[in-house]
């Protein structure tokens, strides 16, 4: 078990402005969130770490009550660099261990190139090699669980073929425009927890993409349950058995996004929401987080 409890919402620091994420983390933990999603590439882990330290030092919330996720960035895929990436995250977050450490994407980058470059690593470390190094982090007590993010089914198969420790979870974009049902069914078969990011299609919505919050069906279901459209979209993930990461730095929305435990969606409503993607016009870009700069990478996972 990954330890991810769908009923206890997750929040993270993706695309948060400097100075805003720390306050948002403190507000989220005070409101009742118990899953904090971090990544080295977000470039705000030191601020998150300071917020976590303030909360833990206050004594009202203990470290063991909070599930903290970190992610191995693309320049650390070489087996000898995996531990270095984890140690950096632990130092920045001021933690002794992570509850979950993910390979942020299947793509590797040259660690000797400028940070803004997207040149693949010329040593071409395999996913199996990187995963084997991730397993050593568990053995060393640096993280309790390991998982993957933004992987395709063939890429997950590659990891599973040689894994001694199976991935605890897959974290991918998911919402009614992009329910990723094939990936979800795969995860269910393989007993891998499915964790949805960008469940509200933002931040990160691309030009020309409609807001799922404004969708007529979403609003109709929200009215039926006396809930907000955002709460419906979060509950949509929970009622599929998924974990969910919701990003906000607005105190009122942080609280609202967690208040989803007093109702549930019917199986019919879940199916209706999943079917929204089938009604989108041909050629419509369903994905918000497409990592366009990486499009020519040989392991680019978003060709759909």
Q: What is the pLDDT of residue 253?
A: 86
DSSP run (H or E) holding 70: strand 67-72
Q: What is the pLDDT of residue 6?
A: 46
Q: Give the distance between the most distant pair of CA atoms in the chain.
A: 55
More confident residue, 15 or 123: 123
pLDDT digits (tens, 9 = 90+) for 164-194: 999 999 999 999 999 999 999 999 999 999 9
Answer yes or no: is pLDDT of 106 > 90. yes
Structure tokens at 6: 């769908």
CB-hemisphere CA count at 13 Å for 119?
A: 10
Predicted TM-score (pTM) of this structure:
0.94
Residues taking part in catalysis: 42
In angstroms, what CA-CA distances link 160 with 81, 132, 142, 251?
21, 11, 21, 40
């Amino acid at each position: 078990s990954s330890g991810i409890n769908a009923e206890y919402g997750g929040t993270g620091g993706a695309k948060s402005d400097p100075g805003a994420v720390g306050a948002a983390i403190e507000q989220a933990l005070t409101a009742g969130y118990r899953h904090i999603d971090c990544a080295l590439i977000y470039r705000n882990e030191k601020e998150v770490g300071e917020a976590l330290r303030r909360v833990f030092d206050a004594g009202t919330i203990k470290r063991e009550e909070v599930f903290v996720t970190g992610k191995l960035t693309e320049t650390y895929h070489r087996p000898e660099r995996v531990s270095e990436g984890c140690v950096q995250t632990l130092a920045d977050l001021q933690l002794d261990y992570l509850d979950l450490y993910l390979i942020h994407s299947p793509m590797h980058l040259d660690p000797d190139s400028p940070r803004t470059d997207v040149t693949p690593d010329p040593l071409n470390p395999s996913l199996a090699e990187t995963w084997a190094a991730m397993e050593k982090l568990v053995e060393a007590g640096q993280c309790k669980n390991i998982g993957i993010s933004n992987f395709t089914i063939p890429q997950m198969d590659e990891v599973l073929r040689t894994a001694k420790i199976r991935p605890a979870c897959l974290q991918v974009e998911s919402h009614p425009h992009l329910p990723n049902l094939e990936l979800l069914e795969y995860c269910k078969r393989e007993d891998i927890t499915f964790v949805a990011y960008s469940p509200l299609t933002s931040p990160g919505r691309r030009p020309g993409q409609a807001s799922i919050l404004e969708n007529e069906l979403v609003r109709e279901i929200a009215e039926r349950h006396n809930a907000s459209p955002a709460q419906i979209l979060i509950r949509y993930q929970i009622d599929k058995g998924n974990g969910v990461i919701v990003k906000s730095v607005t105190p009122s929305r942080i609280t609202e996004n967690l208040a989803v435990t007093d109702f549930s969606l019917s199986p019919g409503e879940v199916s209706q929401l999943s079917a929204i993607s089938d009604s989108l016009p041909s050629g419509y870009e369903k994905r918000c987080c497409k990592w366009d700069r990486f499009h020519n990478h040989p392991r680019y996972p978003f060709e759909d």
